[in-house]
Structure 1
Amino acid sequence: MRVVHEPADGDETRTLATDIQMAEGVLAKVRGLRFRRSLPDDYALVFPFGHAGRRDIDMLFVRTSIDVLWISDNRVQQVKTLRPWIGFGLARADCVIELPPGVADGVEAGDRVLVESEDS
């Protein structure tokens, strides 16, 4: 699997992450990246939801900054870098993706971000 960024302005498509972890259960979604000291450069934690809704991300017990993408229908709704322990973000989304800090540089609202399987 990989997370792919397709800019709305037609610039070149790029891969944001290839080491993908899915947070599908309730406990996995609550835990998120809590208690981790660092993240691999090509890592993404993907939170898939069955429908769009208000999705919040807090940084309590998260020890490193992260970039967060809120996605709805494969379109970026919001991009935010959250600081350890005190960061908070909220946006409407059907999928949230957490990445190492700086990975989402250049990703903007309206761009497409897709989670692709190996055979896509």
Structure 2
Amino acid sequence: MRLIHRSGAIDPEGGEPTAPSERVLAEDVEVADSALSQALGLMFRRSIPDDYALVFRFDEADSRSLHMAFVPFAIDAVWLVDGEVTKVKRLRPWIGLGWGTADTVVELPAGAADGVEPGDTVEVES
């Protein structure tokens, strides 16, 4: 599986949409599909690979929070509703907190979500 980011940038001078772009955010995608894996998230890991993503899927969009307790490295968090980005935030090691509306939350190494903006799409491809 891989995680794909698609964006259609707006030309700041004319306000017209430009050609959409696509890039791979991660080639190594893990889905937290059990209550235990969702509760643990990235806790107690020493690091994650540069091309890694941890995906949390939920049945419906709701307020979803993340904490960085026992996570000793920074991450980028992306909140999605129906594949559309609603929020992106860098979370600090150990003390970071974040929340947003989502039916899917993605955790990536810090810097991996640079350029991902609300309104873009992010999806897992097999």
What TM-score, normalized by structure 1, do the two folds share?
A: 0.95
8 Å CA contact retained: 1:34, 1:60: yes
Verify: 1:38 aligned to 2:38, yes or no: no
Q: Which amino acid aligns with 2:7?
A: P
Q: Which amino acid aligns with 2:32?
A: A
Rg (Cα) greater in structure: 2
Which residue does the alignment assign to 1:7?
7
Give % identity.
Answer: 52
Deviation string 1:65-100 (CA, Å, 9 cap, x unpaired) is 000000001100000000011100000100000000
Which residue does the alignment assign to 1:66?
75
Cα deviation for residue 50 of structure 1 reads 1.1
Q: Which runs of 5+ in 1 are unaligned?
A: none
Partners in 2 of 1:91 and 1:74 — Cα distance?
14
Deviation string 1:35-64 (CA, Å, 9 cap, x unpaired) is 111110100000011111110000010110
Measured on the aligned residues, the alpha-carbon RMSD in Å equals: 0.8
Q: Which runs of 5+ in 2 are unaligned?
A: 10-18
Which residue among 105, 110, 115 is the counterpart of 1:96? 105
User: Which of structure 1's runs of 4+ aligned residues deviate more than 3 A?
Assistant: none
Which residue does the alignment assign to 2:84?
75
